[in-house]
């Protein structure tokens, strides 16, 4: 464990040196995601300017929801997104060889070699928004609700990482995986819709098959005291299930890796 | 003029190679309609009208605006110009006997026409699947007026994308400008949410900018609303188009001198 942490620290320092050279790229993710964040806020503010509730959520809950998914998104951007985003190209070009032959976990290196500090301001913005949402909602915070919320945000960030990695392991099994980012672009639309709005077949799809529907919804429901024990258990269970499946799929994919030009 | 038709024809045919992209473009049209259906379906369970929209007119608005926003494909112009300047292959456009802007405009027309067919069918199929009581106006004059606005709006977006693309001569990398433009345009053109839901003061300010007339106004006109804004829309778009013609010509003539033809 200590060895892995030291390795992540070295990767972080290397990335920092790299970012100092390309300063525009440093804040690229922040600008891009920051604007998406503001637009999402404007969209729901426009809707709430005309209606009191969406489903059984008021505006304060929606603000917490937007803050939560922005937080999960930003944490993912800072830590692992830009690393695993390169996986399809590394599989296609054979560059994954360099990861598999080193005496360190290839997935660990791949995940943390492109840490992006440019999204840290977005984490701060998201936290301010969550605090604002809580303040206008009248929710009384307790140690348990704050701690539980933090744990759920961490779990949901892991779930998002799992789904991102699952999508990017597809090139292990197909000839070309260049369209994968387009698939994800489409799927992430679901992440921006509160899970409580899904019904029928959509609920099955976005709560179980592609669990984008629960990622920001479960922590929001938890902190606003509207979650049932069953929903909480389901949220945690899905994270465990997807994490086990992701690890298995990664290993299975690596065993199918045919090196350069595969 | 004939050479530009040929460019459009080649790009139209070239799209046959990118079947997956065409499929996904149509899927995006569908996805936007599905998510509008999910969100607004819930909202209209407890409201009969929202800002003058019924569920049918709201979904009709999303069907039309999703279709229009998906055929607005000028982003590709920025990407191609930027990529070619960076790898040095932009030299081609400086030596072939065609106007650079018109070349990219007709490329865009060719590919857009191809995508339009598939997006149209995707939108129509989902009207039937969701059993949307599609509120399209039957007034031929309004339909033609909307088509005129749509054409001018798409032309303006091509100009804007071309402008951002040629900025690569100066800034080397414009992906961030393009990304920000894309995200902002998605909101201010009304493809995420009808602009009438915004406070009146904000909408009044938006009317001074061209984006209001690119997707939002034609979509509203096609469902029989905001007809009286047509003339203002034509005037505003025409002014911006003229201004950007001047800006693009002078920017290109000024910045092209910085290009050394060997890539960056």
Distance CA B197, CA A45 (A): 9
Q: What is the mean predicted confidence (pLDDT) over B178-193?
A: 85
Q: pLDDT (tens digit, 9 = 90+) per residue, A245-260?
A: 999 999 999 888 877 6
Distance CA B196, CA B214 (A): 15
Q: What is the mean predicted confidence (pLDDT) over B112-119?
A: 87
Task: Kindly report the length of chain B.
Answer: 264
ipTM summary value: 0.81
Does the structure show a pLDDT above 50 at A262?
no
Phi/psi for A118 (5° steps) reads -60, -25
Q: Do the Cβ atoms of B38 and A49 come within 8 Å?
A: no
Distance CA B116, CA B118 (A): 6
| In chain A, % of residues over pLDDT 90 | 32
| In chain A, % of residues over pLDDT 70 | 88
Does the structure show a pLDDT above 80 at A15?
no
Choose, out of A29, A33, A35, A204, the residue to mutate when testing the contact with B (most B CBs < 10 Å): A35
Q: With respect to residue A17, please indicate whether it lies within any of the assigned structural domains.
A: no
Q: Do the Cβ atoms of B38 and A53 come within 8 Å?
A: no
Identify the weakest region by mean pLDDT among B15-19, B89-93, B94-98.
Answer: B15-19
Q: With respect to residue B52, please indicate whether it lies within any of the assigned structural domains.
A: yes
Q: What is the mean predicted confidence (pLDDT) over B19-28?
A: 76
Phi/psi for A57 (5° steps) reads -105, 135
- Name the residue among B47, B179, B187 with its Cβ closest to that of A51: B47
Check if the beta carbon of residue B206 is closer than 8 Å to that of residue A62: no
Q: With contacts defined as CB-CB under 8 Å, which chain B residues touch A179?
A: 20-21, 24
Angle between helices B175-188 and B75-87 (to 10 degrees): 180
Does the structure show a pLDDT above 60 at B12?
yes
* Residue carrying the six token digits 């190209």: A89
Q: pLDDT (tens digit, 9 = 90+) per residue, A211-230?
A: 888 999 999 999 999 999 99
Q: What is the mean predicted confidence (pLDDT) over B48-70?
A: 89
pLDDT at residue number B150: 95
What is the 3 state secondary structure string of A102-164?
CCCCHHHHHHHCCCCHHHHHHHHHHHHHHHHHHHHHCCCCCHHHHHHHHHHHHHHHHHHHHHH
Q: Residue A27: CB partners within 8 Å, gap ≥ 6?
A: A118, A121
Identify the weakest region by mean pLDDT among A51-55, A62-66, A93-97, B22-26.
Answer: B22-26
Check if the beta carbon of residue B222 is closer than 8 Å to that of residue B146: yes
pLDDT at residue number A20: 65
Specify the DSSP element, H or E, that contains B183.
Answer: helix B175-188
Does the structure show a pLDDT above 80 at A189?
no
Q: With respect to residue A23, please indicate whether it lies within any of the assigned structural domains.
A: no
pLDDT at residue number B216: 94
pLDDT at residue number A195: 86
pLDDT at residue number A26: 63
Domain count, chain B: 1
CA distances from B87 to A241, B1, B102 (A): 45, 29, 22
Q: Is the dihedral of CA A138, A142, A148, A153 positive or negative?
A: positive
- Cβ burial of A142 (10 Å; 0-12, 13-18, 19+) is exposed
Q: Do the Cβ atoms of A54 and B43 come within 8 Å?
A: yes
Q: With respect to residue A59, please indicate whether it lies within any of the assigned structural domains.
A: yes
Q: What is the mean predicted confidence (pLDDT) over B169-194?
A: 83
Q: What is the mean predicted confidence (pLDDT) over A5-26?
A: 70
Q: What is the mean predicted confidence (pLDDT) over B123-127?
A: 82
Does the structure show a pLDDT above 70 at A179?
no
CA distances from A205 to A156, A185, A200, B67 (A): 17, 17, 9, 25
Q: What is the mean predicted confidence (pLDDT) over B40-44?
A: 89
Check if the beta carbon of residue A121 is closer than 8 Å to that of residue A30: yes
pLDDT at residue number A37: 80
Minimum distance, in Å, between the CA of residue B128 and any CA atom of chain A: 18
Domain count, chain A: 1
Distance CA A109, CA A123 (A): 23
Structural domain span for residue B141: 2-258
Question: Which residues of A sit within 8 Å Cβ distance of B?
Answer: 24, 28, 31-32, 35-36, 39, 42-43, 46-47, 49-51, 53-55, 179, 182-183, 186, 189-190, 193, 197-199, 202
Q: pLDDT (tens digit, 9 = 90+) per residue, A119-133?
A: 888 899 899 999 999
**Average pLDDT of chain B, as a whole number:** 88
Task: Pick A83 or B16 by higher pLDDT.
Answer: A83
Distance CA B264, CA B261 (A): 9
Does the structure show a pLDDT above 60 at A242?
yes
Q: For residue A27, what pLDDT band results from cuts at 50, 70 and 90? A: low
Identify the weakest region by mean pLDDT among A39-43, A196-200, A222-226, B21-25.
Answer: B21-25
Does the structure show a pLDDT above 80 at B62?
yes
Does the structure show a pLDDT above 90 at A241?
yes
Q: With respect to residue A16, please indicate whether it lies within any of the assigned structural domains.
A: no
Q: With respect to residue B264, please indicate whether it lies within any of the assigned structural domains.
A: no
Q: Is the dihedral of CA B249, B251, B257, B261 positive or negative?
A: negative
Q: For residue A240, what pLDDT band results from cuts at 50, 70 and 90? A: very high
Q: pLDDT (tens digit, 9 = 90+) per residue, B228-249?
A: 999 999 999 999 999 999 999 9
Q: Do the Cβ atoms of A51 and B50 come within 8 Å?
A: yes
Q: Please calculate the CA angle A166-A177-A173 and round it to the nearest 5 degrees.
A: 65
pLDDT at residue number B214: 93
Structural domain span for residue A125: 44-256
Q: With respect to residue A6, please indicate whether it lies within any of the assigned structural domains.
A: no
Q: Do the Cβ atoms of B173 and A42 come within 8 Å?
A: no
Q: With respect to residue B263, please indicate whether it lies within any of the assigned structural domains.
A: no
Q: For residue B211, what pLDDT band results from cuts at 50, 70 and 90? A: very high
């Amino acid at each position: 464990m200590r060895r892995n942490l030291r390795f992540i620290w070295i990767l972080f320092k290397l990335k920092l040196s790299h970012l100092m050279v390309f300063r525009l790229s440093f804040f690229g993710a922040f600008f891009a995601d920051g604007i998406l964040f503001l637009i999402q806020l404007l969209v729901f503010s426009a809707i709430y300017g005309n209606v009191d509730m969406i489903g059984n959520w008021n505006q304060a809950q929606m603000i917490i929801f937007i803050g939560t998914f922005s937080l999960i998104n930003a944490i993912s951007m800072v830590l692992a997104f830009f690393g695993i985003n390169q996986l399809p190209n590394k599989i296609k070009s054979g560059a994954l060889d360099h990861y598999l032959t080193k005496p360190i976990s290839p997935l660990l290196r791949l995940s943390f070699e492109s840490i992006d500090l440019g999204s840290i301001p977005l984490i701060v913005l998201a936290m301010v928004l969550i605090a604002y949402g809580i303040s206008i909602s009248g929710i009384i915070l307790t140690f348990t609700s704050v701690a539980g919320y933090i744990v759920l945000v961490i779990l949901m960030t892991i779930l998002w990482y799992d789904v991102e990695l699952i999508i990017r392991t597809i090139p292990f099994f197909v000839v070309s995986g260049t369209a994968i980012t387009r698939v994800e672009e489409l799927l992430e639309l679901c992440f921006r819709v509160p899970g409580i709005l899904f019904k029928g077949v959509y609920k099955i799809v976005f709560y179980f098959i592609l669990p984008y529907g629960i990622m920001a919804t479960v922590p929001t429901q938890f902190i606003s005291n509207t979650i049932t024990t069953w929903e909480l258990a389901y949220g945690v269970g899905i994270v465990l299930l997807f994490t086990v499946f992701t690890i298995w799929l990664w290993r299975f994919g690596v065993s199918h890796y045919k090196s350069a030009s595969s | 003029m004939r050479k530009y038709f040929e460019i459009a024809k080649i790009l139209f045919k070239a799209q046959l190679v990118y079947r997956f992209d065409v499929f996904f473009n149509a899927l995006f049209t569908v996805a936007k309609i599905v998510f509008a259906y999910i969100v607004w379906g819930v909202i209209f369970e407890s409201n009969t009208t929202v800002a003058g929209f019924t569920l049918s007119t709201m979904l009709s608005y999303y069907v039309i605006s999703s279709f229009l926003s998906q055929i607005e494909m000028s982003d590709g112009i920025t990407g191609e110009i930027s990529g070619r300047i960076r790898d040095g292959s932009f030299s081609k456009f400086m030596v072939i006997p065609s106007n650079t802007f018109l070349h990219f405009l007709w490329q865009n027309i060719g590919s857009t026409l191809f995508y339009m067919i598939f997006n149209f069918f995707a939108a129509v199929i989902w009207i039937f699947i969701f059993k949307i009581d599609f509120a399209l106006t039957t007034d031929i004059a309004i339909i033609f007026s909307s088509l005129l606005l749509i054409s001018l709006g798409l032309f303006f977006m091509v100009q804007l994308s071309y402008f951002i693309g040629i900025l690569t001569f100066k800034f080397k990398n414009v992906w961030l400008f393009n990304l920000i433009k894309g995200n902002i345009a998605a909101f201010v053109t009304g493809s995420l949410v009808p602009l009438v839901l915004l406070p009146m003061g904000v909408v009044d300010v938006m009317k001074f900018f061209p984006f209001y007339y690119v997707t939002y106004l034609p979509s509203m006109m096609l469902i029989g609303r905001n007809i009286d804004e047509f003339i203002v829309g034509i005037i505003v778009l025409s002014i911006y188009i003229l201004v950007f013609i001047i800006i693009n010509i002078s920017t290109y003539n000024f910045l092209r001198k910085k290009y050394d033809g060997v890539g960056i």
